[in-house]
Structure 1
Amino acid sequence: MNPSQNEVLTPSQLIFIVNGLLIGVGILILPNSLVKITQQDACISTAIGAVYPLYICLIITYISKKHPNHNILFLSKKYLGNFMGSIMNLLFLIPFIFIIFTVTPSITNILRIYSAEFLSPFKLIIIITGVCLYTAYNGINLIGEICKIIFYVSLPLIILPLFAVQKSSILNLLPVFGSGFNNILKGSIETLYSYTGLELVLLIYPYVNDKKKIKNSLLKGIFLTTLIYVWCVFITVYYFGLDLTSKSLWPVLSASEIIDIPIINSFRYLFMLSWTLILLRCITIYCFIAVYILKDFMKKTDTKKIYFFIYPILVFLSTFFTNEITRRNFLVKVTPIMVIFLVIYVSFIALLVRIKG
């Protein structure tokens, strides 16, 4: 694979794409599900959960060193044969299509509750999907720049709750390790959906113009992501305690409502804008990847036509999950299967690379 000059990723762009892949709607609901298992130790479980992306990082680093110019789609066909390799590539696509049409209605639900109740879910899904597909169509280099900009724009708003820490009590986080070691480990497994997505770097690492820095970029991206996850879980539990956090649909967003900073009149809306950009960034990357994989099956089809082809499909599938409870129940059932498949598949490809050279 030899990307053209305008389809090149710098190592710094890869850092922010990793951050964009890993931080999606899962971060907004993670405290809600974690405190039901690990109670005040939710932050510890969140940190331990980072072991999963670190493992995927090791696999990506190994494969990219052995095959710096060929991604997992090529390697799958190379080692498994064209027929079986194509089937596995299609299966590799399915989990990320799931993410697109489950994250999109989640943004829709958030926007309708907090700022755009006058728009119907269907209209919002049409707009969100269209914007993300159009952005993805403009290529990986632009996506990398957008990821970097959104990160720097959003980071101050994520940190600002620090200035309102006096409104609650550190007692909400005590006693440390009070939930028990077994529950902390169970909670770390709960974070796997939130940390899923790094596997997609196995598709785009050939775009990176300095292959020697791939590992370093991945580690930096994972580190930044873990810090943000731990911070959001910490600040939510710190503000609300266990009871309110477990009852709120989006506890991270709810935390913004109690923040009163004199120099900012409407922190809630700035916070909402920040998270909307973060979630749109996430969907855009997954849309690019979805089309990228489909292009491997439809080599003679113009890329623009593939984008037009999947647009109504994604809109249609997203409409089934406009009910937030239905969406979460679906994810509870699908996520374990999705994660197990991804771990086994990428590990198997790495093993084949090791055995067959």
Structure 2
Amino acid sequence: MSYQASLTKTVSPYLLWFLVHKSQTGIAMLDFQSKIAPGAGQDAWVSVLLTGLSMHLVVFLILYALKHAKKGDVISLHVQLFGKGLGTLLNAAFLLYLLLFIGYQLTAYTQVIQTLVFPDSPAWRIALVFILMFAYIVHGGFRVITGISFWFVLIPSLLIATLFIPLQYADWRNFLPAFNHALPDYARSAANSVPLYMGAELLLLYYPYIRNNADASKWAHIGVLHTYVLYLIVTAATFAYYNLGELGHSVWPTLGLSKIITFSFLERFDYFYIFNWIFVITPPCCLALWGCMRILRASTPLSGRPSLWLAAAFVYALVAWPKDAAAVELLKATAQAAGSALLYGYVPLLALGVFAHNLLRKPVSGEAA
């Protein structure tokens, strides 16, 4: 039977839908179209769909592994499978990944704000505002983060309706000829779409805080379904509006869709779009920061509040440290490579380790009772 935290700390099973979905929607949604186009071209939507379908398998493996963890999370599972020494090292590696994950999200968003809104504001000032906000939310506990995730799914979803405005200028011939690419092309686009789904691995940390989690797996899969349906809608709208030549020269294609939207009472709708992305990056960053705090509490003598501020300080240093464009791109590439390796490399290996551990613990047939 799966381990579950005390009832006062858990949330209803259906909220797993919003936690999984919201942890997967982040800053990569702004520019993924220009990254996936060089592979399968106008057929890249197929790669987005296939990657999304593969996430069901990843979530299944995560849930399988966690159901055999003594305390229901990857922190205890590492120690259970590999012993205290190696388990603590693996937890430290996971902690570094979480810090990198938050740093990637926040650095990329800071770059958007500096480029399009506040070009004279230094990165350290913008980062400080967001870090303090994230820490304040995390200090409220997991239930507060879950509530934020719920509402921050509903509010940005209203922007989907605005996609119908650029679609008035769509050229659906951009999708032709259809299905004329080789398998390696689809694979290249699929590999470049993996960063879209980073965040599902956070389930490894908050699973014990889901009430009746043994029966909640359907909500996790609904969350994954919600994610790739959303990405398919955005991909279709983008490829219908841009041709491949235009897409190759667009830095943030999703934001580009908002630039042609104007209202009599709102001239620069793209500003509204940019600041709405606060609702997009806050939940995954808060979940990751909460996970950092949990790992530090479990692996060091630090209590909750010092752990939280120590993790926040590391993230702030990562984002605010003066860096050039090459360093920013290196941070993004490192985080994306680490996330891809974790989802499609480490998660299957962890599930295989749990399977082997359980197999070896079973008594040999015919052995005396």
Q: Structure 2-normalised TM-score?
A: 0.89
* Structure 1 residue corresponding to 2:128, chosen from 120, 126, 129: 126
8 Å Cα contact 2:103/2:319 also seen in 1:
yes
Q: Is the 8 A contact 1:161 1:259 kept in 2?
A: no
Query: Share of identical aligned residues, percent?
Result: 19
Q: Distance in 2 between matches of 1:180 and 1:162?
A: 32
Structure 1 pair 178–261 and aligned structure 2 pair: CA distance change class (3 A): farther
Alignment partner, residue 93 of structure 1: 95
Contact conserved, 2:9 with 2:209, CA < 8 A, in 1?
yes
Mapping of residues 1-357 of structure 1, within 5 Å: 3-67=5-69, 69-260=71-262, 266-298=268-300, 300-320=301-321, 323=324, 326-333=327-334, 335-357=336-358
Inter-CA distance 139–333: structure 2 relative to 1 (3 Å threshold): closer
Local SS of the residue matching 2:118: coil
Aligned length: 356
Change (3 A) 1:319 1:286: same
CA distances 1:281-319 after superposition (whole Å, capped 9, x unpaired): 221121111111121112x32211112222322111113
Summarize the Cα distance change of 1:192–1:238 in structure 2 as closer, same or farther, 3 Å threshold.
same
Assess if the C-alpha contact under 8 Å between 2:123 and 2:319 holds in 1.
no
Give the distance between the partners of 1:321 and 1:154, measured in 2 at CA.
Answer: 31
2:289/2:311 contact within 8 Å kept: no
Change (3 A) 1:222 1:68: farther
Q: Does the CA-based 8 Å contact 1:132-1:283 persist in structure 2?
A: yes
- Contact preservation (8 Å) 1:92, 1:342: no
| CA shift in 2, pair 1:102/1:257, >3 Å | same
Q: Return closer, same or farther for 1:54/1:261 CA change in 2, 3 Å cut-off.
A: farther
CA contact (8 A) 2:59 2:200 kept: yes
For the residues of structure 2 that align with 1:339 and 1:24, how far apart are their CA atoms? 15
Tell me which residue corresponds to 2:366: none
Alignment partner of 1:49: what SS? helix
Question: Could you tell me how far apart the structure 2 residues matched to 1:61 and 1:309 are?
Answer: 30
In 2, the alpha carbon distance for the partners of 1:56 and 1:356 equals 20
Larger Rg: 2
**Matched-pair contact (CA < 8 Å) for 1:102–1:321:** no
Shift of 1:277: 1.4
Deviation, structure 1 residue 148: 0.8
Read off the aligned partner of 1:270 and give its amino acid letter: F
Aligned partners of 2:99 and 2:314 also within 8 Å: no
Query: Whole-Å Cα distance in 2 between the matches of residues 325 and 33 of structure 1?
Result: 17
* Runs of at least 5 residues in structure 1 that lack an aligned partner in the other structure: none
Contact 1:136/1:143, CA 8 A, preserved across alignment:
yes
Query: Per-residue displacement from partner, 1:83-125 (whole Å, max 9, x unpaired)?
Result: 1111111112222211111211211111223333353221001
> Distance between the aligned counterparts of 1:148 and 1:57, measured in 2?
20
- 3-state SS of the aligned residue for 1:50? helix
Secondary structure in 2 aligned to 1:191? helix
Q: Aligned AA for 1:111?
A: I
The SS at the match of 1:81 is helix
SS at match of 2:11: coil
Q: CA deviation at 1:79?
A: 1.6
The structure where helix makes up a greater share of residues is 1
Shift of 1:77: 0.6
Output the aligned Cα RMSD. Answer: 2.3
Deviations 1:56-92 (A, max 9, x none): 2111232344448421111111121111111111112
- Hey, what's the Cα distance between the residues in 2 that align with 1:165 and 1:10? 38
- Between stretches 346-355 and 89-98, larger displacement belongs to 346-355
Shift of 1:55: 2.0
Distance 2:325 2:35 in 1: 14
Provide the C-alpha distance between the structure 1 equivalents of 2:330 and 2:310, rounded to a whole number of angstroms: 28
| Matched-pair contact (CA < 8 Å) for 1:105–1:318 | yes
Change (3 A) 1:239 1:260: farther
TM-score (normalizing by structure 1): 0.91
Question: In structure 2, what is the Cα distance between the partners aligned to 1:132 and 1:67?
Answer: 29
Measure, in 2, the Cα distance between the counterparts of 1:324 and 1:44: 31
Structure 2 unaligned residues grouped into runs of 5+: 359-369
